[in-house]
Structure 1
Amino acid sequence: MKSVPPVPKPDHVPEALVVDFDFIELPGAEDDIQAGYQAYQRGCPDIFWTPQNGGHWVATRAEDIVFMQRNTDVFSNRMVTLPPFPEGTPPSIPLEIDPPRHAQYRRPLMQFLTPGAVKHLEDGVRKVAIDQIEALLPQGGCEFIEDFAKVLPIHVFLDAVDLPREDASMLLPIAEKSVRARSIEDRIEAHREMSGYLLGWVRKRRAEPGDDLLSQIVTIDVDGEMISEDEALSYATLVLFGGLDTVAGMIGLIGKFLAEHPDKCKELVENLDDAKFLKNAIEELIRRHGIANTARVLTQDYDYKGVHFKKGDHILPPNLLAGVDDRVIDDPLTVDFNRKKPVHASFGNGAHACPGAGLARREIAVFLEEWLRRIPEFRVKPGTKPVLETGQVNGIIKLELVWP
């Protein structure tokens, strides 16, 4: 059942550009999310309008997606969710703040997640991965999402913000509800629940800051003054959601791919010690398995490639479609670890490019290195089927694996 009924077509939208596209209930995505999206990319106008999820435009080609991600003057981040939250909802900081002000909020994230800092975090990432894999190995199988894909990033992230690891089991369902709930009300409730959990921690770190990431983001100065408690809470909530869910989704989809493609898994196993090969292979896996969907809102009337946008229009430029665009990538649904340049927009572009991209790549690398050295052969458990789900963050919610 849809939580939001289709809306009427606005007068400025030509009938020829209307497509019934619902990114929450996408045909074909139950088997392959990216292929389900690509069917619309190949069979529809490059830019079309859908009456679903509040009514919004969709950009399907890499050139347009990258342009819109970079051009924040016209395609604003002020409302990134679909259906949009009610008018007057405070912005999620810093995601829904546009440049140049955005840079002041983003600064502590960039400082904490520099390449050097990410390298410093690697030992913790690796220890969590090894401990979890060693515990699973003798069982001969696991439910990969709950038993590994979610465990690695949440433990690493809770360590980075210096919050108790034992809170992971309580926080993960809230993060799931935030990005995959079908109703606006449920998504708002998830934000309230996360804010309720964080409020005490935010107040404590603002009073007695440490050197952890949470302390840094809740005490930043903007325009010469420390941000308000409400802003700090919004910032902390968004960062915690980002750290809990997105990396887990990508690791889950990569695990599914390797379980279903033993030849590719074997190729990785044979090249784990080749740093250059592994780096390119990870980029190719990220290209093929993009997951995030952040919408934009038009700041003005704007004509683009024959399409007339009106101020206030919402548009979805799905990150993952840039990685499966056959105009820029040959045979894009095929994973080729020797592809010379895996082009994608999985972490966004421009001012709002994901500041945690380096950490995400490192977590994926550690997963592949430590898992494949211990479990080089694995497959989907016979009689089961992976459960995939689309939404603001696409992902996989169940994946039963077995190994010898």
Structure 2
Amino acid sequence: MPEALVVDFDFYALPGSDEDIQAAYRRFQMQCPDIFWTPRNGGHWVATRAEDILVMQKDHQRFSYRHITLPPMPEATPRQIPLELDPPEHAHYRRPLMQALQPGAVAKLERGVHDVAVETIERLVPLGGCEFVLDFAKVLPIHVFLRMVNLPLEDKDFLLPIAEDSVRGRDAQTRYKSMMAMGAYLQKWVTERREAPGDDLLTQIVNVEIGGQRISHEEAISYAALVLFGGLDTVAGMLSFFARHLATHDAHRREIVERLDDDAFLKRAIEELIRRHGMANTARVVTRDFEYKGVAFRAGDRLLPPNLLVGLDDRVNPDPLTVDFARQGGVHAAFGNGPHACPGAILARRELRIFLKEWLRRIPEFRIKPGAPPVMATGMVNGILKLELSWS
């Protein structure tokens, strides 16, 4: 390994991430080779530039999804279906999610999203403050998602810590235990939906047929677990990053307040905030020996191409750490690209839009509570664990 390509990079403990996670990643992007090796978390490559990350997101023949976590999970760990499948196998499992989350289906969910948002915000307004993550970010998307899969809303307090360990657990053992706990929880529900199918999303994914044959019970558990992990965390994290930014950038918040009914502007603002606040990381496995831009990859090498670094790359987005609602053509990969692009992106954008419109109509001025800095965490999915807000 050439010494010039070795960097001490631990994405679970990035210097400065307690203040701004994305800015912490950006510093490595500016200071390091475009592709470098770190001995941390089992040893893996890291790609830092949009051009290369986009190749790695789409080229499954050289960069496989078959192991997406770092450090690596135990060999006996069940595959996370469909995320740890490569095309064409991946497409058969993905189809039910795409159908359930296409624009027409999401439009039918919008009324419910709106009602949950309004009810939650109205309850918070007279309090003069809240812990945003617990009181809103982990209420809106999770209420909506648990309705989609028709699971008891009262189970969320049991499920959320499990999801937290899965997406931000720093070691393979923690993440493995969370997968097993989620699988144990789902046993009853998966059996029920396979024996007596309903019209919910959980029914659709646990009864997928491949070549005329229904997937096995074990595959159904794995598929359902992955969907739950995604539905319980991702949108909640993005809502929290949005709220933190608006609480600390008065001009941006007030500009959105003044233009809440300008749909074109609101769409651009949401996309710019998503670009600036990417979250997810999924690892790859190199499938064969080959050279890429002077880097000698070997079969079995692990690779991290962080989605968020696409949006932060100054080669495609000038002044990338600055949020600019007038930015034209902002490039990002917050929801991935290619065959594994996030099927929930349409619903996520809809929930973010409803949050901005309904929150800012009722709470146009708010800030981070003095003396209570946000608590943030990096990992396979970056997030905000605690965000104290206050308002008059």
Q: Say whether the fold is shared (TM-score over 0.5).
A: yes
Unaligned runs of 5+ in 1: 1-12
CA shift for structure 1 position 302: 1.8
In the alignment, residue 227 of structure 1 is paired with which amino acid?
I
Paired residue for 2:97?
A: 109
8 Å CA contact retained: 2:77, 2:176: no
1:271-319 Cα offsets, whole Å, 9 max, x none, are 1100000001100000000000000001111211110100000000000
The amino acid across from 1:157 in the alignment is F
1:37 aligned residue? 25
Aligned to 1:390, which of 364, 378, 383? 378
Alpha-carbon shift at residue 89 of structure 1 (Å): 2.1
1:209 equivalent in alignment to 2:185:
no
Q: Distance in 2 between matches of 1:78 and 1:85?
A: 11
The 1-side partners of 2:290 and 2:358 are apart by 49
1:160 equivalent to 2:174? Answer: no
2:359 aligned residue (359, 371, 381)? 371
Deviation, structure 1 residue 338: 1.1
> Per-residue CA shift, 1:29-78, capped at 9, x if unaligned?
11000100000000000000000000000000001000100000110000
**Partner of 1:177 in structure 2?**
165
In structure 2, how many angstroms separate the alpha carbons of the residues matched to 1:86 and 1:188?
8
The DSSP-based 3-state class of the residue aligned with 1:341 is coil
Distance (whole Å) between structure 2 residues aligned to residue 45 and residue 214 of structure 1:
43
The residue type equivalent to 1:104 in the other structure is: H
Alignment of 1:77-156 (within 5 A): 77-156=65-144
The Cα of 1:166 is off from its aligned counterpart by: 1.1
Q: Secondary structure at the match of 1:330?
A: coil
What's the offset of the Cα at 1:170?
1.2
Give deviations 1:306-336, integer Å, cap 9, x for gaps.
1010000000000000000000001100001
- For 1:5, the equivalent position in structure 2 comes to none
Count of aligned positions: 392
The answer to whether residue 203 in structure 2 is matched with residue 236 in structure 1 is: no
**Structure 1: which 4+ aligned runs deviate by more than 3 Å?**
none
Distance 2:10 2:292 in 1: 23
Q: What residue number does 1:73 align with?
A: 61
2:50 is aligned with 1:62? yes
Question: Where do residues 262-341 of structure 1 align in structure 2 (5 Å cutoff)?
Answer: 262-341=250-329
Letter in 1 for 2:370: P
The SS at the match of 1:28 is: coil
Query: Any conservation in 1 of the 2:97–2:205 contact (CA below 8 Å)?
Result: yes
Q: Which amino acid aligns with 2:305?
A: P
1:244-278 CA-to-partner distances (Å, cap 9, x unmatched) read 00111111011000000011000010111000000
Q: What amino acid does structure 2 have at the position aligned with 1:351?
A: P
SS at match of 1:325: coil
Shift of 1:87: 1.9
Cα separation, 1, equivalents of 2:135 and 2:290? 47
SS in 1 for 2:245: helix
- Aligned residue runs from structure 1 range 353-372, under 5 A: 353-372=341-360
Separation in structure 2 between the aligned mates of residue 165 and residue 314 of structure 1, nearest angstrom? 38
- So what's the TM-score if we normalise by structure 2? 0.99
Shift of 1:88: 3.3
| Cross-structure match for 1:245 | 233
Residue in structure 2 matched with residue 15 of structure 1 by the alignment: 3
Could you list the per-position Cα deviations for residues 187-213 of structure 1 after superposition, in whole angstroms to 9, with x for gaps in the alignment? 111111111111100000001111110
Contact 2:311 2:331 in 1 (8 A): yes
- Does residue 380 of the first structure (1) align with residue 372 of the second (2)? no
Alpha-carbon deviations, 1:362-387, whole Å to 9, x = none?
A: 11011101100000000000111011
> Residues of 2 paired with 1:209 and 1:143: CA distance?
38
What is the letter of the counterpart of residue 331 of structure 1? D
Residue in 1 that maps onto 2:248: 260
1:193 counterpart = 2:177: no
Equivalent residues of 2:290, 2:298 under 8 A apart: yes
Per-residue deviation, 1:180: 1.2
SS, match of residue 309 in structure 2? helix
SS in 1 for 2:291: strand
Q: Which residue of 2 aligns with 1:52?
A: 40
Per the alignment, residue 4 of structure 1 pairs with none
Gaps of 5+ in 2: none
Instruction: Give the distance between the partners of 2:212 and 2:286, measured in 1 at CA.
Output: 30
Taking structure 1 as the reference length, the TM-score comes to: 0.96
* Structure 2: distance between partners of 1:400 and 1:310: 46
Counterpart of 1:81, as a letter, is: T
